[in-house]
Amino acid sequence: MKALSPMLVFMAVYLVGSLLAGDFYKVPLTVAFLVASAYAVCVTPKLGLKERVAIFSRGAGDENIMLMVWIFVLAGAFAKTADAMGAIDATVNLTLRLLPDSMLLPGLFIAACFISLSIGTSVGTVVALTPVAVGIAEQTGASLPFIVALVVGGSFFGDNLSFISDTTIVATQTQQCRMSDKFKANIYFALPAALIVLVLYIIIGSGVEAPAHVPMPQWYKVVPYVAVLVLAIIGLDVLAVLLIGIVLAGGIGIFSGSFDFMGWMAAMGEGVMGMSELIIVTLLAGGMLALIRHNGGIDYLIRILTHRISGKRGAKLTIAMLVVLADLCTANNTIALITVGPVARDIADRYGVDRRMSASLLDTFSCFAQGLIPYGAQLLMAAGLASITPFSIIGYLYYPFALGTIALLGILIGYPRKYSR
């Protein structure tokens, strides 16, 4: 239990500090993670300070963490460049002209679902659509965290179902089942959740009003966003997509007179610096979680949760709890799946759980958990692009909550029957 205590320290610092300040968003995430990380270094036993810091540093410099940092840096540069050249205003104006007021919210949610299903990554979807969501919120007066959460929630739909999603690949490989079979089992949870949330957005969207006068969009300024979406959908790496987007936005901005070369450089610099807090949180979280893993925190969770399993329903609940807790400790649903996947397969085989269902449960609950943590890549990215706190988004993540609720009910009542016999 001591190995997991840094997580408790993080929550205590953040929650207690917020309560004392009378504002839930007063305490910076960087401070909470700094305190928790220092504590994690101090309580790591049987090693000198240099070795403890080395473990922390290797965790912070992990390949997956560095890839996230690269994406954050390029996303910040692209977002600010596109903003400076007028791409956001043009895209928002085009959207407001094409869609009736009542369809703005459901239309944005459907776009997030479709794009994430096509490109297989929630992070790429968040990068592409969050700036547009911010512009729509400003133009309509809708709550910014609510609109941003709509995009983040939709991004998890494809992350959970797409055949090219890394979570789908890991879930099916660790459970040794076919992707098509896992998809067929998974759709019983994902589709009802998406339809319920879509109806909710249609109801809420009926009260959204766009401005009476929407300026005629300058269509050529929409090109960077269209290019980013198309390149992402055809499968180009997200880093390459963002680099091309930066060059396109910069070139169009210079030729249209929105800024000169130095203005482009300044916009990129501002965008990168705007991601600084996000990057620091990512590095601190990566180091702290590496120490938790080194001290046996994840192994402890696995032992506790697998100690007393009773029947097929208990086995399914254990698989779900394993991946949720692993995700809370790793802040990465792919790594969480890699960590507990083999254990989940053993549990499934021992208690007669269909491997197609165990793969579906792993992927579904990892996406659900990723929507709960303020230090996951999706929420950090969205919060950084929208200049809001990750905690302000969590309460509006209707799709991940609906997905987790339906999956949990499915376990309890034996739904779907086809995969629960």
Mean pLDDT of 307-323: 86
Mean pLDDT of 368-394: 88
The CA distance from 402 to 368, in Å, is 9
Residue 75 CA, distance from chain mean position = 14
157 pLDDT exceeds 80?
A: yes
364 pLDDT exceeds 90?
A: yes
52 pLDDT exceeds 90?
A: yes
Instruction: For the chain, state the CA radius of gyration.
Output: 22
Residue 364 CA, distance from chain mean position = 13
DSSP 317-332: HHHHHHHHHHHHHHS-
Beta-carbon contacts of residue 54 (< 8 Å; ≥ 6 apart): none
Packing angle between helix 63-85 and helix 276-294, nearest 10 degrees? Answer: 170
Q: Quick one: pLDDT at residue 69? A: 85
pTM (two decimals)? 0.74
Give the residue extent of every domain in the chain: 64-276
Q: Which of 7-11, 95-99, 193-197, 236-240 bottoms out in mean pLDDT, i.e. has the lowest?
A: 95-99
The CA distance from 341 to 352, in Å, is 16
Q: Quick one: pLDDT at residue 153? A: 94
Q: Quick one: pLDDT at residue 233? A: 66
Residue 228: CA count within 13 A, CB half-sphere? 31
Percent of the chain with pLDDT over 70: 95
